[in-house]
Amino acid sequence: MFITKVSLPKEYKPNKKYPLILLNDGEIYYLDLLKEKAIIIGLISNKRIDDFTPWKAENIKPGMPDFGGMADEYHKILFNSTLPELLSKYSIDTDKIAYGGYSLGGLAAIYSMSTTLVPNIIFSICGSFWYPGFVQFCLDTSFKNMDASVYLKNGKTEGSKHNNILSDSPVLCEKVHSILSKKLNDVTSIFDDYAHHEHLKTRYEELSKWLIERLCI
């Protein structure tokens, strides 16, 4: 379902406990500010439109495969199999486990809060909160992971060049931010002025600074 890419601090010491950051899509080079402060695991899915989606839905782009809705299976492997293996192999501070991603990877991370208590920190950059039914899901769901620190960042101009559900992305994202801010205990909600694929480096740098603060590293 996925492979892992491991980044350890250059001076990794087995007798020292390190924060663990689990990053969907595996683009760990965006987290350079954290590479000497934490163990970073890039999670590279071989079918992200299945693994990062919470339930089946028709694809919004003609000719593309439909969304598979296998996030539950993905998270079961991640938290029940992969994570225990990482804990047995590396020196990890179990009170400082962060999980998140970009776009569908961010959607999956937020969805995980309904099924597991494991991550202490959840982050989403440009989370695909336009996903069919996700706003209603957030309204109807009693999230398990109420006490995690949550970082939400979306762009005010996401979807501006589309004429499908993506064009409603800013409005739908605002609804999700608002719902989660009311339901959860520690939510940082941010909207910047950019579109979905813009300024990734800057966005990850700002996330990294937030993670450094939350992880106390």
Q: Which amino acid is at 109?
A: A
The predicted structure's pLDDT at residue 92? 98
The predicted structure's pLDDT at residue 169? 87
Contact 181, 189 (CB under 8 A): yes
Q: Which residue has the tokens 């205990």?
A: 185
Please, what's the largest Cα pairwise distance for the chain?
54
Considering the chain, what is the average pLDDT of its residues? 95
The predicted structure's pLDDT at residue 61? 82
pTM: 0.95
Which one-letter DSSP state was computed for residue 57?
A: B
CA distances from 3 to 23, 25, 48, 79, 211 (A): 12, 10, 12, 14, 24
Provide, rounded to the nearest whole percent, the portion of the chain with pLDDT above 70: 97
Buried b / exposed e along 134-173 (16+ C-beta atoms within 10 A)? bbebbeeeebebeebbbbbbbbebbbeeeeeebeebbebb
For the chain, residues with pLDDT lower than 50 are: none
Write out pLDDT tens, residues 66-104: 999 999 999 999 999 999 999 999 999 999 999 999 999
